[in-house]
Amino acid sequence: MWLYLAALVGLYYLLRWYRERQVVSNLRDKYVFITGCDSGFGNLLARQLDLRGLRVLAACLTEKGAEQLRDQTSDRLETVILDVTKTESISAATQWVKERVGDRGLWGLVNNAGIFHPLCCTEWLKIESYVDVFKVNLIGLIEVTLSMLPLVRKAQGRIVNVSSILGRVAFFGGVYCSSKYGVEAFSDILRRELQHFGVKISVIEPGYFRTGMSDLQSSLGRIKQAWEEVPTHIKEAYGQKFFDAHYNGVKQGLLRCSTNLNLVTDCMEHALISLHPRTRYSAGWDSQFFFIPLSYLPTSLADYILTRSWPKPAQAV
């Protein structure tokens, strides 16, 4: 019996491997619009797809980032300045894309732009931090998608939304996790609503990677600043020892972040060019072999595994 079961499982993965190797035709005629291309995943993906021969439309937040990207790529790649928190900027970028794709429509939309708040406890953050993160990670993603959607629908193309493994398992960073849970929900709804239009939606769920968003010195500096600005009664509740332990824990975690960003951009590329893209891509060994299995455990057991090494606050009961 076990032999038959193993054979069926093997056959399933063999068939999936074969289906996923099939690539869409005429890649050189397809346009892909990517947000957040100044650095990190977006920058690498833009260069990767450019080498592949696709027509990349790269959105950067700054002119400096756009200029550096153009210097590293072919003449096919074009850049535009985009702030996903501003409606007028999104509208202008959409018109810019429309002028380039014409009647062909937009084959791929990659919502990659994102920010991270200080890596600290939820109670230490000001409400402004919550608003800023949601504006970029969720509201901005939704507005860009809705603005570009008619162009994607015309091409019967792809939408690739960059979430996080923290959109599956809320481990730390309450507002960031919340924004990424929103991305997961929005993507699921969009996938079901657009299935009859031939549009495919994929979600990328990276684990821990070293990008500008997880820069060691910047991240540690923001934690210190957040702690310094916390009201006295909150500092007394947690205590300096708790902060020191939390600070060192974050530092060690950031040092262990993977530097192989291709693990993420390869998933993005597959979602754009495969004839049969996956609904979700778990990028990184920590994502695939720790967090995904953890997400299927009973909540009480997952809570124990995730928090057993956490320090105790000064006023813990």
What is the predicted pLDDT for the residue at 25? 84
3-state secondary structure 22-58: CECCCHHHCEEEECCCCCHHHHHHHHHHHHHCCEEEE
Measured in whole angstroms, the distance separating CA 228 from the mean position of its chain's CA atoms is 30
Give the residue-averaged pLDDT of 92-107.
96
Residue 288 lies in a domain: yes
- Cα angle vertex 294, ends 290, 296, to 5°? 135
Q: Which residues contact 132 (CB under 8 A, 6 or more apart)?
A: 115, 117
Residue 204 lies in a domain: yes
Q: Which helix (H) or strand (E) holds 282?
A: strand 280-283
What is the predicted pLDDT for the residue at 159? 98
Residue (of 246, 260, 257) closest to 286 by Cα position:
257
- Catalytic residue (one of 13, 18, 130, 176): 176
Quote the CA–CA distance of 260 and 265 in Å, as a whole number: 10
Quote the CA–CA distance of 47 and 74 in Å, as a whole number: 9
Instruction: State yes or no: pLDDT of 274 exceeds 90.
Output: yes
Residues 169, 173, 178, 181: is their CA dihedral positive or negative? negative
Quote the CA–CA distance of 81 and 122 in Å, as a whole number: 32
pLDDT band, very low/low/confident/very high, at 116 (cuts 50, 70, 90): confident
Residue 313 lies in a domain: no
Residues 271, 276, 279, 280: is their CA dihedral positive or negative? negative
Residue 16 lies in a domain: no
Residues 184, 287, 131, 200: is their CA dihedral positive or negative? negative
Least confident of 106-110, 111-115, 170-174, 176-180: 170-174
What is the predicted pLDDT for the residue at 61? 95
What is the predicted pLDDT for the residue at 136? 96
Residue 222 lies in a domain: yes
pLDDT band, very low/low/confident/very high, at 267 (cuts 50, 70, 90): very high
Quote the CA–CA distance of 12 and 15 in Å, as a whole number: 5
Instruction: State yes or no: pLDDT of 278 exceeds 90.
Output: yes
What is the predicted pLDDT for the residue at 21? 80
Residue 1 lies in a domain: no
Give me the number of domains the chain comprises.
1
What is the predicted pLDDT for the residue at 43? 96
Give the residue-averaged pLDDT of 206-227.
85
Instruction: State yes or no: pLDDT of 212 exceeds 80.
Output: no
> Residues 13-40: pLDDT tens digits?
777 777 778 888 888 999 999 999 999 9
Residue 317 lies in a domain: no
Measured in whole angstroms, the distance separating CA 297 from the mean position of its chain's CA atoms is 24
What is the predicted pLDDT for the residue at 256? 86
CATH number of the domain within which 222 lies = 3.40.50.720
Residue 170 lies in a domain: yes
What is the predicted pLDDT for the residue at 98? 97
- The number of residues in the chain equals 317
- Is 176 assigned a catalytic role? yes
Average pLDDT, the chain: 92
pLDDT band, very low/low/confident/very high, at 7 (cuts 50, 70, 90): confident
- Token readout for 230 is 């916390």
DSSP state of 123: G
Give the residue-averaged pLDDT of 268-290.
94
Quote the CA–CA distance of 25 and 30 in Å, as a whole number: 9
Q: Which domain holds residue 252?
A: 22-308
